[in-house]
């Protein structure tokens, strides 16, 4: 394939964008990052155009993306683009993506920020449906524009976050580095019937079933997939989420979110 797009997604927003860009671009392989993020051997990327599509977490690049990139080997003259999506803003994510690439001798050619419905249920519930629809409609036309720009290998400026944000960067990174430990806040309530959907959608493979009840390990990515995709709304985070409306991208099927393992 001439092009490759790597994505990470908890509630389908990144996957929907990545799929749309893949289809418009043609000749593009779409690969889910988490299953490869701890690959033993370095991964050599020979594609002409390389994309990274991911959500912004606490203003940052998700740690799983950073780990994945640290294991990549790039060629020469490749067009590398990032699509950061978020509820509010891309903040420090593109600068961090570019830095992660620089550590591998590569550089970001273009950055495409896309607003999507926010999914951080620990702080807020799903947006009203009409607002979600508006945001998703706009994002669709944005994704078409991204595909066109990528086809033409058009470069762009890389937003690195306003200076006040840089002051908080260390603190924000510290939060993301603590994601594993934050898994201890998840729990399943009486509604849980042991169906195992949470374990299947967990991109980190961090959930197992014990006596038909989910148990969280220490390698959480905080993507909220376990809460947002639970068909019985039985999974919650501490005492923060029980009464909040769930969200996942309306055009992404549950089965598309199942963790895929490399061959």
Ligand X SMILES: Cc1cc2nc3c(=O)[nH]c(=O)nc-3n(C[C@H](O)[C@H](O)[C@H](O)COP(=O)(O)O)c2cc1C
- Residues of this chain that bind ligand X (CB under 6 A): 9-14, 55-59, 85-89, 116, 118-120, 222-224
Give bridge partners of residue 113 from the DSSP assignment.
84
CB of 168 to ligand X, least distance (A): 11
- Name the residue nearer to ligand X (CB basis): 106 or 139: 139
Residue pair 73/43 in contact (Cβ under 8 Å)? The answer is yes
Residue pair 252/25 in contact (Cβ under 8 Å)? The answer is no
Residue pair 44/31 in contact (Cβ under 8 Å)? The answer is no
- Name the residue nearer to ligand X (CB basis): 87 or 194: 87
- Name the residue nearer to ligand X (CB basis): 22 or 222: 222
Quote the CA–CA distance of 107 and 100 in Å, as a whole number.
9
3 state SS of 131: helix
CB of 56 to ligand X, least distance (A): 4
CB of 34 to ligand X, least distance (A): 12
CB of 31 to ligand X, least distance (A): 15
Quote the CA–CA distance of 226 and 203 in Å, as a whole number.
9
CB of 223 to ligand X, least distance (A): 5
CB of 18 to ligand X, least distance (A): 9
- Name the residue nearer to ligand X (CB basis): 55 or 214: 55
- Name the residue nearer to ligand X (CB basis): 3 or 119: 119
Query: Which of 78, 65, 88 minimizes the C-alpha distance to 6?
Result: 65
CB of 30 to ligand X, least distance (A): 13
- Strand ranges (E), 90-218: 110-115, 186-188, 207-210, 213-216
- Name the residue nearer to ligand X (CB basis): 82 or 118: 118
Query: Which of 145, 217, 204, 149 minimizes the C-alpha distance to 9?
Result: 204
Question: Helices H, strands E: what count in the chain?
Answer: 8, 11
Query: b/e per residue, 10-34, with b = 16+ CB within 10 A?
Result: bbbbbbbbbbbbbebbeebebbbbb
- Name the residue nearer to ligand X (CB basis): 88 or 128: 88
């Amino acid at each position: 394939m001439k092009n490759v797009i790597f994505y990470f997604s908890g509630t389908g927003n990144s996957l929907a964008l990545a799929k749309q860009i893949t289809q418009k671009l043609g000749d593009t392989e779409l690969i889910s990052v988490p299953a490869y993020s701890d690959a033993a051997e370095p991964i050599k990327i020979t594609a002409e155009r390389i994309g990274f599509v991911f959500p912004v977490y606490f203003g940052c690049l998700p740690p799983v993306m950073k780990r994945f990139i640290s294991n990549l080997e790039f060629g020469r003259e490749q067009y590398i683009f990032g699509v950061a999506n978020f509820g509010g803003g891309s903040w420090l994510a593109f600068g961090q993506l570019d830095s992660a690439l620089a550590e591998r001798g590569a550089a970001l050619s273009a950055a495409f920020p896309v607003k999507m419905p926010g999914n951080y249920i620990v702080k807020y519930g799903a947006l009203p449906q009409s607002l979600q629809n508006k945001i998703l409609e706009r994002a669709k036309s944005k994704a078409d524009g991204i595909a066109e720009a990528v086809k033409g290998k058009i470069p762009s400026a890389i937003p690195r976050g306003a200076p006040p944000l840089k002051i908080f960067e260390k603190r924000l990174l510290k939060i993301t580095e603590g994601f594993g430990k934050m898994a201890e806040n998840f729990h399943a309530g009486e509604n849980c019937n042991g169906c195992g959907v949470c374990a299947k959608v967990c991109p980190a493979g961090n959930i197992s079933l014990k006596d038909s009840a989910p148990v969280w390990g220490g390698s959480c990515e905080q993507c909220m997939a376990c809460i947002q995709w639970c068909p019985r709304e039985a999974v919650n985070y501490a005492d923060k989420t029980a009464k909040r409306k769930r969200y996942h991208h309306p055009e992404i099927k549950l089965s598309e979110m199942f963790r895929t393992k490399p061959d």
